[in-house]
């Protein structure tokens, strides 16, 4: 069985924790897109870790951790990361690297830095990890696949050809030092020696694993709103952040993905530029940032303070829909326990009209948040294991958001540790009929819950469905 774990929003939703938790019952964890430009924070028995390239299942001895073909593979950073966890007494993980993965080259990082420098105040807020130049080269068909490291004749010819192209830009656009082909070839030889023991035909491996009945987790990076097609373009990443891409980035048939766990924060945060309708500022933002995350809301890769905001139902509903969500994991709920009241963004006002549908970017830039304020619970909820034991206002907050987004919240994270999780089963949902009309939000919720299993439906003055 294949399960995907992805983000609904701008990234930093807590996917690493959810992957780490679900990896306990998985055999294989696959990173299927992105690179070292974002990080997953994990707190477990070994300590607190920020992973950038490694899949979040590396802390379990029984798992195989795969770098899929869709990943932007920075080879030295990968092995530096492996060494960093081994140095902290984590057993050396089982690693497999796709022979079709492409390599982040040293010049990709330089070009990323040079372009941000050139753009100045109009920059995209890049992490300067080389991701955009990497994917640009990949789709221009001038990237380097891992497999090519092992063909010396091909490698030499390609290095000379690519250096000739890149040096034109370095000389005439950026006015920077040129690339020495011999030095680059030597670097690639070093990369080859580092990665050689781990290279494999990943798609074949996964095919065999599924035939043996093994469980595969697909771990995504960032979230829906950073997808280059469906996100806040152009302030997006350079690879698809959607679960659907997991099939491509891992080398699997799309029909094998049976469960899609989409992670949402109980509030909103973002790193980098781009539209953020429910963003808050000043002391209000500083307080939430200080209390948030696993020790404050700061980028796991850059260390930059994250932009803060209240939960955005419009963006999250859209994010869950685009992911094909079967389950929502609702994270960092414990952070909100200090608030007397909690605003929730339930709509966008654009040019005097209110919508609950996520618009294209140029309209998004004009959007103003429409809030509904819910009462806080003013309690510490860490340590609670049963949903029914949460404060009433806390449960009301969860259930209000569930109805607004139209997807079932089946996991609630109430602390940073892998065991700080409440599993919630949606056993019944009621739709009230008024003058023959049914709220479309309720119908969406009905659809998303009923497709998870067998349900009985009773139709009278109201619709009632229960898990059978």
Catalytic positions are 12, 40
Q: Going by C-beta distance under 8 Å and a sequence separation of 6 or more, which residues neighbour residue 136?
A: 238
As given in the structure block, the two tokens for residue 9 are: 């929003």
Torsion region of 34: left, alpha or beta (phi above 0 gives left; psi -120 to 50 gives alpha): left
**DSSP summary character for residue 171:** I
Alpha-carbon dihedral angle through residues 448, 449, 453, 458, given to the nearest 10 degrees: -120
Element at 39 (helix H, strand E): none
The structure tokens 């958001």 sit at 401
Distance CA 111, CA 150 (A): 26
Q: Going by C-beta distance under 8 Å and a sequence separation of 6 or more, which residues neighbour residue 277?
A: 309, 312, 314, 315, 345, 348, 364, 367, 368, 369
Three-class SS string for 346-358? EEEEECCEEECCC
Closest residue by Cα to residue 188 from 243, 248, 134, 146: 146
Within 10 A of 282 (CB to CB), how many other CB atoms are there? 7
Q: Going by C-beta distance under 8 Å and a sequence separation of 6 or more, which residues neighbour residue 269?
A: 10, 12, 289, 292, 293, 297, 306, 307, 308, 309
Q: Going by C-beta distance under 8 Å and a sequence separation of 6 or more, which residues neighbour residue 166?
A: 107, 111, 179
Alpha-carbon dihedral angle through residues 452, 458, 460, 461, given to the nearest 10 degrees: -40
Closest residue by Cα to residue 250 from 195, 210, 193: 210
Closest residue by Cα to residue 259 from 71, 410, 379, 59: 410
């Amino acid at each position: 069985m294949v399960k995907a774990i992805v983000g609904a929003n701008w990234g930093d939703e807590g996917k690493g924790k959810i992957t780490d938790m679900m990896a306990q019952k998985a055999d294989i964890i696959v990173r299927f897109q992105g690179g070292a430009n974002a990080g997953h924070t994990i707190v477990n028995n070994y300590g607190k870790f920020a992973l950038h390239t490694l899949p979040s299942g590396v802390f379990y001895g029984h798992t195989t951790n795969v770098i899929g073909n869709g990943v932007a593979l920075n080879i030295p950073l990968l092995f530096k990361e492996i060494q960093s966890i081994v140095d902290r007494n984590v057993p050396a993980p089982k690693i497999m690297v796709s022979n079709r993965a492409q390599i982040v080259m040293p010049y990709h990082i330089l070009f990323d830095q040079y372009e941000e420098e050139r753009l100045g105040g109009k920059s995209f807020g890049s992490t300067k990890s080389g991701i955009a130049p990497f994917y640009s080269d990949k789709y221009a068909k001038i990237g380097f696949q891992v497999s090519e490291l092992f063909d010396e004749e091909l490698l030499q010819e390609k290095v000379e050809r690519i250096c000739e192209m890149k040096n034109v830009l370095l000389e005439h656009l950026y006015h920077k030092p040129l690339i020495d082909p011999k030095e680059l070839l030597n670097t690639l030889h070093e990369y080859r020696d580092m990665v050689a023991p781990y290279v494999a035909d990943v798609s074949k491996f996964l095919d065999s694993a599924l035939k043996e009945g093994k469980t595969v987790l697909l771990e995504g990076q960032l979230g829906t709103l950073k997808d280059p097609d469906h996100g806040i373009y152009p302030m997006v990443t350079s690879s698809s952040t959607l679960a659907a891409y997991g099939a491509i980035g891992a080398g699997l048939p799309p029909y094998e993905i049976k469960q899609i766990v989409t992670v949402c924060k109980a509030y909103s945060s973002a790193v980098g530029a781009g539209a953020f309708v429910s963003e808050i500022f000043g002391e209000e933002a500083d307080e939430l940032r200080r209390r948030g995350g696993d020790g404050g809301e700061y980028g796991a890769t850059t260390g930059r303070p994250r932009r803060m905001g209240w939960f955005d139902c419009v963006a999250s509903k859209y994010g869950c829909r685009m992911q094909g969500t079967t389950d929502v994991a609702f994270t960092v709920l414990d952070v909100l326990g200090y608030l007397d009241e909690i605003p929730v963004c339930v709509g966008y006002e654009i040019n005097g009209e209110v919508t609950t549908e996520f618009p294209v970017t140029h309209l998004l830039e004009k959007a103003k948040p429409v809030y509904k304020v819910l009462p806080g619970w003013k309690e510490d909820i860490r340590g609670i294991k049963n949903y029914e034991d949460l404060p009433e206002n806390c449960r009301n907050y969860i259930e209000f958001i569930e109805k607004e987004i139209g997807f079932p919240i089946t996991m609630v994270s109430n602390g940073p540790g892998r065991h700080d999780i409440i599993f919630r089963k949606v056993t019944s949902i009621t739709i009230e009929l008024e003058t023959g009309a049914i709220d479309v939000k309720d119908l969406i919720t009905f659809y998303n819950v009923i497709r998870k299993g067998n349900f009985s439906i009773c139709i009278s003055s109201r619709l009632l469905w229960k898990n059978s």
